[in-house]
């Protein structure tokens, strides 16, 4: 199973949380790609879509949430059968908003 872990506009540059999740998934036999967006990178949704993941996991913080909403619809439209999971600080603080606006199946 292919998993894409997505970090929209990661403010610290290194998405440690997503990397920890990736390590556990890889150890358990999943094929994982981590996407760490640079601010303003318009090719970003295309890179995720091109990887053809079965599962897309978003690591969300409030600062980058609006950007995530911008491209999440494109990802879901291109990959309608992919399971979409949102996690991170913003997902924890605002789970209803995330489930309603990010085209996701689960919030953790």
pLDDT in tens, 90-108: 999 999 999 999 889 999 9
- DSSP state letter for 42: T
Strand order of the sheet with strand 83-87?
Answer: 31-36, 2-7, 55-59, 83-87, 106-107
Q: Give pLDDT, residue 39.
A: 55
Q: Give pLDDT, residue 17.
A: 84
- Two structure tokens written together for 68: 């995530």
Secondary structure (3-state) at 80 = coil
Note the Cα 85 to chain centre separation in Å.
7
Q: What is the pTM of this model?
A: 0.89
């Amino acid at each position: 199973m292919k998993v894409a872990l997505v970090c929209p506009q990661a403010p610290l540059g290194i998405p440690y949380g997503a990397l920890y999740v990736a390590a556990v998934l890889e150890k358990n036999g999943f094929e994982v790609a981590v996407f760490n967006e640079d601010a303003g990178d318009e090719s970003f949704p295309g890179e995720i879509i091109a990887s053809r993941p079965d599962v897309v996991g978003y690591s969300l913080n409030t600062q980058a949430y609006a950007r995530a909403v911008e491209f999440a619809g494109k990802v879901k439209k291109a990959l309608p059968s992919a399971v979409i999971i949102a996690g991170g600080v913003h997902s924890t603080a605002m789970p209803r908003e995330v489930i309603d606006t990010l085209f996701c199946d689960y919030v953790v």
